[in-house]
Structure 1
Amino acid sequence: MTDLTPAADLLRTAPVFPQDMPSFEPASAPASPLPLFLEWLEAAVRSGVLAPHAVNLATVGEDGLPDARIVILKDVDASGWSVASSTDSPKGRQLAANPSAALTFFWPGLGRQVRVRGAVRVAGPEENDKDFQRRHPSARALVLAGRQSQVLETPDAVEAAVGRQLAQLEARPELGSETWAVFTVEPAVVEFWQADPERRHTRLRYTRTGDSWRTDRLWP
């Protein structure tokens, strides 16, 4: 047998899920995914999961390859799951070219993940501005400075650019951003995944069919 590489050996011994995990009975799941998601999100908050609102946002890059990053969930309601970014950021440009995305929430302390896939809708100017104004001044200053994901010449360049924008915000607190946008993933498919210590994971998939949802149990 070939010896494992140090990395493979480390990965095989890494801790996985706790032995004590919540139960999940798909037969008692609601008819639509939103109430179940809110129940799981509340459980993650109550259990002390760090950044329970962090979510992996996957898009398609300009080169046709998948791209992904962790962002923060801004809101969720019957219309979908909402995140926000600048339209001139890589993800903003990718969503403009291909307005569809996938979201993945992962709460390892509970052995749970939720996957959402669907088309993306961009909010109107009023909603975008309200979200922008709720951000911390430093976060707004970074947006106004622009250049997200561009090559950084020197670390001092960030401080200088943010400083200039903070001065503008101090003089004009109502200053908005023409590029800030709220993106809502309108779900076509939502999957709930509950880990099992014996790897017999429980998976329930919701698929939108018109105005209602079909549910299917999936193999682990």
Structure 2
Amino acid sequence: MGELRQLLREIEVFAGELPDFDPVLTPDDPVELFTQWLHHALRSGVREPHATTLATVDAEGRPAARVLILKDVGDRGWQFASDAASPKGRDLTARPYAALTFYWAALARQVRIRGPVAPEPPEACTADFLARGTGARAESLLGRQSQPLADLDERDAAVAASLARLEREPELVSPTWTLYTLRPDSVEFWQGDRQRRHLRLAYRPTADGWHKQLLWP
């Protein structure tokens, strides 16, 4: 364990050229700043910058986190999708509040969003499901996420059967597929610095719009 501890301490962080970030020049709306940072990550070659860690809590107060893909962001909030019968779907039914975390290591940038979560109307959920790739839809139609799996052959046979079903019924939609929207009550932007002079800017909603506040890192 001592060797691993030493290895972890020696891993370089904040390597390479990091972007500038001036909080004074930031827009009044966090969606606009998030969009700017996302486009910058894409231009900088960050792989899968739309991947985000979703943190939820179950009915007993036990937290869980996993990585999924951001579907959209706008005035309504940050959107992601999942099967309502999955563990995260059950968590959101029991406690409809969550956190999203984006981390773009190459840029030493992090964005954290917290707030209540609500499902979108059925037509929006259907449209999101049909926009998925065929393989993703076939897997989702199985409705077995996180259930015990006997072996990989069982998985392959089930997916093959689901794909065949989709060929016969291309408009088939999982009845439990859900598009969720997180309406933020907090959005924080963090810019790392090699000298540990990190910058942390928080947005909080008010009756008149958004309030910006620098925070100690």
Give the TM-score normalised by the residue count of structure 2.
0.97
Question: What amino acid is aligned across from residue 130 of structure 1 in structure 2?
Answer: A
1:55 corresponds to which of 44, 47, 52 = 52
Counterparts of 1:1-220 in structure 2 under 5 Å?
5-220=2-217
For residues 188 and 211 of structure 1, the distance between their equivalents in structure 2, rounded to whole angstroms, comes to 14
Identity score, percent: 51
**Letter of the structure 1 residue corresponding to residue 204 of structure 2:** T
Q: 1: CA distance between counterparts of 2:38 and 2:208?
A: 24
2:11 and 2:62 mapped to 1: Cα distance?
Answer: 29
Q: 1:63: how far off?
A: 3.1
The alpha-carbon deviation at position 19 of structure 1 amounts to 4.1
Runs of 4+ in 1 over 3 A off after TM superposition: none
Q: Secondary structure at the match of 2:183?
A: strand
Deviation string, structure 1 residues 142-179 (Cα, Å, up to 9, x no partner):
11111100111111111111111111110110111101
Give 1:211 deviation, angstroms.
4.7
- When the two chains are superposed, the root-mean-square deviation of aligned CA atoms in Å is 1.1
Q: In structure 1, give the amino acid aligned to 2:179.
A: V
Q: Structure 1 stretches of 5 or more lacking a match?
A: none
Which letter does structure 2 place at the counterpart of 1:145? L
Counterparts of 1:75 and 1:142 in 2: how far apart (Å)? 22
TM-score (norm: length of structure 1) = 0.96
Does the aligned pair in 2 maintain the 1:19–1:197 contact within 8 Å? no
Deviation at 1:137, TM superposition (A): 1.1
Deviation per residue, 1:82-131 (Å, 9 max, x gap) = 11010000000000110010000000111100000000010111110111
Residues 121-130 or 4-13, more deviating = 4-13
Contact 1:144 1:165 in 2 (8 A): yes
Q: Secondary structure of the equivalent of 2:185?
A: strand
Between the aligned partners of 1:169 and 1:104, the Cα distance in structure 2 is 34
Task: Give the counterpart letter for 1:28 in structure 2.
Answer: L
